[in-house]
Amino acid sequence: MNRPERFVSLFGFFAFKYPSSWTNETDESGHYLFYNANGGQGVLRVMVMPNDFGSDDEKMIEEVLNQNREFSPSLYVANKNKFVHFVKEHTINNSLFTVYYWATAKKDKVVLFALTVQSLMKELPLAISEREEVEAMIGSLEFLNEH
């Protein structure tokens, strides 16, 4: 990851490092967007949602695993955080997109990272490199306070 920047979420719930060459924005839904504005292949959307099981992180992780069984989910551990990782294909405006998901739970919230790449481009070196950069971002995730 080139010269990382540090992103801190609204209210300081979590933080992670991202490449300084990437742009970060917040969309109208309050989701955080990250992308390489210099010809990147994908867009990372980071969403914060309620934990349906209150503060039981393990139950929420298990629920995400169960809800996505058909997509062959796996557990991914990075920086003391346990993620459920899975991949889905979506058709949007007659184009096929691959979305890589990583979900983790902390206290009463779920943080979902979703990297969207046009399926025709997903095996290109730049798309693979961006996926690796996203995995480094996820690996740097830290929870800052206990909302």
Identify the CA nearest to 45 among candidates 137, 114, 135: 114
- 62 CB contacts (<8 Å, ≥6 apart)? none
Query: How far, in whole angstroms, is CA 33 from its chain's centroid?
Result: 10
pLDDT level of residue 56 (50, 70, 90 thresholds): confident
Confidence class for position 72, pLDDT limits 50, 70, 90: very high
Q: Whose CA is closest to 102, among 87, 112, 88?
A: 112
Which residue shows structure tokens 């629920």?
63
Cα 4 from Cα 138, distance rounded (Å): 13
Residues 16-41 pLDDT 10s: 999 999 999 999 999 999 999 888 88
Strands (E), 51-122: 74-78, 81-92, 95-106, 109-118
Residues 53-74 have a mean pLDDT of: 90
- Is 49's pLDDT higher than 60? yes
Domain 4-143 superfamily per CATH: Mog1/PsbP, alpha/beta/alpha sandwich (3.40.1000.10)
Is residue 54 over pLDDT 90? Answer: no
Rounded to the nearest integer, the mean pLDDT of the chain is 91
